[in-house]
Structure 1
């Protein structure tokens, strides 16, 4: 004989599970719809799509569950170049990035705005910053979006730096090969900022941005911190020529970005920092 209490408990459990599943599906749909609208807006604004990365589905394919999270990366060399003329290190936060994601069951949109790059890279070219913000808001005009937090942000916040004796071309080649030797890594592309600038008649130091990521470790790191998919994932590795020779390699401190967005960090963030630093050192040394 089955107890009625047990039956009611089972029914309640199934109802709650079904409701949670429906909510999750609804939020995923909203995240997807927001991303599709942003892609259309990018096209209408005349910007160039660079990468559209579905963090959560890539992670799920590797057996890792995380909230819905999709980042859109798009570019405009005419906007990038004046910013880079003042400080090539700003390339770590270029080109434009917008994240559509699920935060505690609520679809949200967050983006990297001009204030973020101004503070992090000590920029003072008001015209360049205004052009950056204007183009970004042109894309976001119909979106309920919020800028990335800047409370606690300061110059060079959360940037890990390594030095190489190799030229940018040689170092990029070694880094690309070393990164892709990792069997859990996906390559998303690279941007040669100096070449783009030269087409506009502007000379920049050799500066290249590499874009890649590990869906499984990234998914673990984002599981309770989905907003860091804006800055920390995919991985962005900037290589630029040092004025005294050789090159400089900079990348994001994942734990620092988690603390910026959420006020705390977790072991996977620190573990990934160690892994990335060790991997890049291999390519440099």
Structure 2
């Protein structure tokens, strides 16, 4: 079962009085143009849009300024399932995601490729990885895009893990309630990978991906590190069943992702890690 919606922000226009702001406006226009091309390509490729998130405009609505950044998350269960069958933890980096963003006043496009999944999750199914990459490149065709860095990546890099005796349905319910009990959080969607796999004739353990974000704290964390919008701001929380009947919860270490993309991290990244870990641990105790 899939539940999703698009988070859209109104695009406003305003007069610009300085060359710096004019340049920023020009980059925002380019970021928007690239993003709209991506949305069109996703539909043409037959994939399912999951979430369209405008980091910068959502942050600005909360009084936080950051570079232009928009992430598109889209899915194809037939492609996801063979990857999850080999390692369900790969669901933390599924489904597809592409980021259109401003890096130092230059519009760029970044994406998570099959090599990232292979290294981070120890995948060996070449056919499944090639199919993932082919669909991704079909969407990116004609666009100047670069994959997320993998030179410093290793197995389980930047994965924070918590364990609970609660079942997956109970853990998901409690985590969702805890997340949305915070007044600075926006819900982006939920994907039940196990149900999607069953429709492909594949049995997976209960596996659910939760998508949410905090525009204000996320905007602060991304202000000098916009590329982490590929994995942060829309926080991905994967919950899957363990062999004892309980559940495992994994999510991204935001500081580790900043270091992967930029070679350094900042206090807001570590602060968010502490907040998220505390919130999730309390929810599933």
Equivalent pair of 2:219/2:233 in contact (CA under 8 Å):
no
Provide the TM-score with structure 1 as the length reference. 0.94
Name the structure with the higher helix share. 1
1:200 is aligned to 200
Cα deviation, 1:194-252, whole Å, max 9, x if unaligned, reads 00000111100000000000000000000000000001220000000001220000000
1:116 is aligned to 116
Distance in structure 2 (CA, Å) of the matches to 1:17 and 1:227: 28
Report the secondary structure of 1:278's partner residue: helix
Larger Rg: 1
Report the secondary structure of 1:238's partner residue: strand
Listed as ranges, the matches of 1:1-285 within 5 Å are 18-285=18-285
Structure 2 gaps, min length 5: 1-15
Distance in structure 2 (CA, Å) of the matches to 1:254 and 1:200: 33
Report the secondary structure of 2:20's partner residue: helix
Report the secondary structure of 1:162's partner residue: strand
Alignment size in residue pairs? 270
Structure 1 gaps, min length 5: 1-15
The alpha-carbon deviation at position 17 of structure 1 amounts to: 6.2
Distance in structure 1 (CA, Å) of the matches to 2:245 and 2:253: 25
Cα deviation, 1:77-123, whole Å, max 9, x if unaligned, reads 00000000000000000000000000000000000000000000000
Distance in structure 2 (CA, Å) of the matches to 1:157 and 1:146: 20
The alpha-carbon deviation at position 277 of structure 1 amounts to: 0.2
Provide the TM-score with structure 2 as the length reference. 0.94
Distance in structure 1 (CA, Å) of the matches to 2:114 and 2:232: 18
